Amino acid sequence: MFLSLGNNKESVSFKEALFKGLASDKSLYYPVEVRKLGNDFWKNFKKMDTFSLAYNVLKGYINNEIPKENLFDIIRKTLDFKFPTVLVDKNIYSLELFHGPTMAFKDVGAKFMSACMDYFIKNQNLNQKITVIVATSGDTGGAVANGFLDVEGVDVVILYPKGKVSKIQELQLTTLGNNISALEVDGYFDKCQEMVKKTFVDKDLNEKLLTSANSINVARWIPQILYYFIAYRNLKKNNPNLVVSVPSGNFGNLCAGMLAKKMGLPINHFIASTNENDTVPKFMKTGEYKKQKTISTLTNAMDVGDPSNFIRILNLYNDDFKKLKKELTAYKFSDKETILGIKRLYEKSKYVLDPHGATAYLGLKKYLLNNPKEIGVFLETAHPVKFLDTVENALNMKINIPKNILKLKKKNKSKIGIKDYEQLKNFLLSR
C-alpha cells in the first residue's frame, strides 16, 4: 500500500499508484511501510541470482497484486543487461548503469513500469486508452519512450525543455513515432515538471486516464533500489559498508538508495553531487529549503531547481535534519570543475566519464579526502556518447558511437513546440 505524503488518509494499492501517478492532492505517494529484509534474505544473499535478488527486494511493494511468476517475468525483462562495477581510482568504483537500450540509468525504472502496466492492461481488461505523460531533462524521456514503444493501449507524451537536452537525447525522444509524442517546451525542466503535475488536478482532463512516468511515479522510482543492492553485492568482499555518491537532479535515484538502506542494506554514507543547481547543498548547510530558479549547465539532467523527490527523503528521516545530516553530504560542482574531473580521471586510468558521472566522481573524491579508509561507489548514470560534444571537447578525442545511436541519426525528428500549459492541455484534449 502507498500513502499520499500530503494526506496520510489517502492510501492506495500498487496498481492505483501506478496508474494515478500522483495523489488526488497533487502529492507524491510513499510506501505505507518500509519493511526490513529478514535473516533468510541475507543468508541467501550471495547465492541469489540477480532476478531472485530483485524479486525479494521488490515483492513487498507489489503486495501480491502481480503473481510471483508474472513478477519474475517482468523482472527478467527489466534486468536483461549488465550492471558492472569498475575500479577507476584508489578506493573508488564506478557502477555502470548505462548498458540498457537507451544507455542511461532510467532504463530500469521505465522498463519495469511499462511491463507492470502492460500486465494490468492485459490481465484486467482495462479498456480505456491510457496516456503516460512525462517531463524530462534528457534521459527519462528516452527511456520511457523506449520502454512504452508499441505497448497496446498506451500513448506517451514527453515534455522536454527546448535547447536544454543533448543532440542524442533529443533523437531518442523524437524519432520513435507510433504511440510516442514529443513536445518541446519553451522553458526549463522545472516548467515541464510543473505542467505535468498540473494535468493531474485539471478537472477538464478527468475523463482522460493520465499517469506520470517521472520518478514521482512509484513504479518508476522504486526499482532503482536495485542499483544499490547490486553495488553492495559486487563489492561486499572489499567492504560491506559502502559510501555512495549519486549525481542528483530530481533526487529520485538518491532517495531510492536511502530507501534501500532503510530496508537493511548497510550503506555507510550518501553523497548528493549536484551542479550549480544547488538547492539541496544549501539546505544541508542551513536546514532551510528554498527552491531556486533553474540554471542551465553541461549536466543538463541535473538542471532542477526544485527537486520533487526531496520530500520523500525528508519523510524517510521524519523531517529530522540532524539525523539526515549524519547520513548525507551534499556538494555542488561547476561546469569547469566537471570538465576537469573528466580530464583528470582519463589521464589517471583511461576511464571515460559522462558529465553526470564526473560530478558524482568528484563528490566521492572530495568526501574520501577526509575519510580515506572508506570504499566508495559512484553511479555512472549515462554513457559518455549521450553527451558527445562535451566529452570529446574535454578529452580532445573522438568517442566511438554505438550502433544503436548511429541508427537514430538516420531517422527524422518529429516534435511539437509549446509555450504554456494551455497548449499542453489542448493537445491532450485533442487526442
* pLDDT tens string 85-130: 999 999 999 999 999 999 999 999 999 999 998 899 888 766 678 8
pTM of the predicted protein model: 0.90
pLDDT classification of 65: cutoffs 50, 70, 90: very high
Q: Is 106 a catalytic residue?
A: yes
* pLDDT tens string 72-94: 999 999 999 999 999 999 999 99
Segment 393-414 mean pLDDT: 89
**Exposed (0-12), middle (13-18) or buried (19+): which is 232, by Cβ within 10 Å?**
buried
pLDDT at position 111 is 94
pLDDT at position 307 is 93
pLDDT at position 239 is 60
* pLDDT tens string 161-219: 999 888 888 999 899 888 999 999 999 988 998 999 899 888 898 777 788 887 889 99
Of the residues 106, 197, 261, 386, which is catalytic? 106
Segment 226-253 mean pLDDT: 88
**Exposed (0-12), middle (13-18) or buried (19+): which is 73, by Cβ within 10 Å?**
middle
* pLDDT tens string 193-203: 899 989 988 88
pLDDT at position 67 is 96
pLDDT at position 215 is 83
Topology classification of domain 82-104+221-400: Rossmann fold (3.40.50)
Segment 33-39 mean pLDDT: 92
> Mean pLDDT score of the chain, rounded to an integer?
92
Round the CA-based radius of gyration of the chain to a whole number and report it.
Answer: 20
* pLDDT tens string 296-311: 999 988 999 999 899 9
pLDDT at position 24 is 81
Q: Is pLDDT of 134 > 80?
A: yes
pLDDT at position 237 is 67
* pLDDT tens string 262-297: 999 999 999 999 999 999 999 999 999 999 998 999
Query: What is Dmax (Cα atoms) for the chain?
Result: 59
Segment 214-234 mean pLDDT: 92
pLDDT at position 47 is 87
pLDDT at position 130 is 87
pLDDT at position 401 is 87
pLDDT at position 150 is 87
Q: Where are the domains of the chain?
A: 82-104+221-400
* pLDDT tens string 38-63: 999 999 998 899 999 999 999 999 98
